[in-house]
Structure 1
């Protein structure tokens, strides 16, 4: 049976993978409905027609902004066009503010009337990656509090810093230290102290609920909260709520309520990632504000 071009287009428009066809110069000659819809739903500059858009140039522009995807995608497409690789694929994250998402990109060549073309597809692999992430997380959690450990905090902050750099968005950090925790441990015992750490971690976990957020046990009785796309004013509101909720834990236990033993000092800082700066500067700023909160009487926020 001979299939019409309209029929074949209908087939391509029915699949959920995002598909385009480019020529040797990188110009898009066809984009299916899923590709166009994804662009519209994710605030892409190109909303209506992708015909004639040079996809390699799109990747190069993203690479210049520090986007690792753009760099790898552009290089991979060029290798397939140059016949250095028969096929190219790689997996990459594409998170939105509301959800985590991952895709697999594939580039495969074909010829029509001795002219070379290349199919580029992006397949949503979020379900598999979330399953892999849940297994990996078991090794990434702090053994006592069941929130992220310090290593994961460092990795997450590095990646979120890079993401906010690409998008020209601010990133904020709060470092939370429980006041006079040694006194609490000495008075009620380490087992009771551990329970307090777990309760504080639950308060933090309830706040860090976006893909660009993470709470972690920073060390001992210190915790950290990273919030991407967040200004200093916004994280100050979050820190105010945290301080109230930590203090409220005293009312839930007669041992604590007798002397309001469980309080916290919080240092907050915000930076907009730029060339020549790194996330360690953000940590230094938040740490300095934490020290200031301790100096100024504890049970307070500085930033």
Structure 2
């Protein structure tokens, strides 16, 4: 199936290098979370895909062919800086945008009605955009990205400013689009939401992709850690010399332990037996980093490595 591929993109603004050989792909039917700090290059990469900016080198391709004007007409784009006409009515504006993408009048109106219903702004079709709350403007902006029945979705900070109900609605729409085979790429600083929604995640720093993969893949680290909710570690940890206490999981006293280098493969069973021998164990589970923790680790490690290279 078709995928949207970003291949070795570079882009500079004067002396500032925004993209440094950025390479990744968004597969058909998947939701790809694109994360990074402000200025990392996310919006630049998206704008190059849309033809708003030109890359200095590298390509963006769809189904193995460079993205051209015809392909861009099939992309649903939601820019970070919202692009609606503030004094135009919601319904008229969505029909107009659908017509620009080639839908006939009847199909454009049907699509407008569908998406304003789904996104909860049907009652505001006859209102000017400027009269809407920021959250409802955000919903209309997503409707504008969807109204022409796109084959690709590129969304820059689509969840910014939304309340929890609107986040759930928009998340459901993105899942529905992916289930229909549409590749969806979205950027967000809300890492818990990215972790919950994405099939794969790419972490970009200073214009380069520093980590990319599925959530479980990215959360799998070289260290082996477990959370033990049970007796205090001073009552049992000494019986497992190949494991060390590395902290508490939370204020409720759950213990986090980590296997030392060279610990046997089944040391987790030794931990559990030792803890049970000392008292009741209410929880015993593998501890993996959240996407937020992983993001901090990857970006910090990469920054430290780059600083070392410059030293």
**TM-score, scaled relative to structure 1:** 0.28
Bigger helix fraction: 1
Greater relative contact order (CA < 8 Å, ≥ 6 in sequence): 2
**TM-score, scaled relative to structure 2:** 0.27
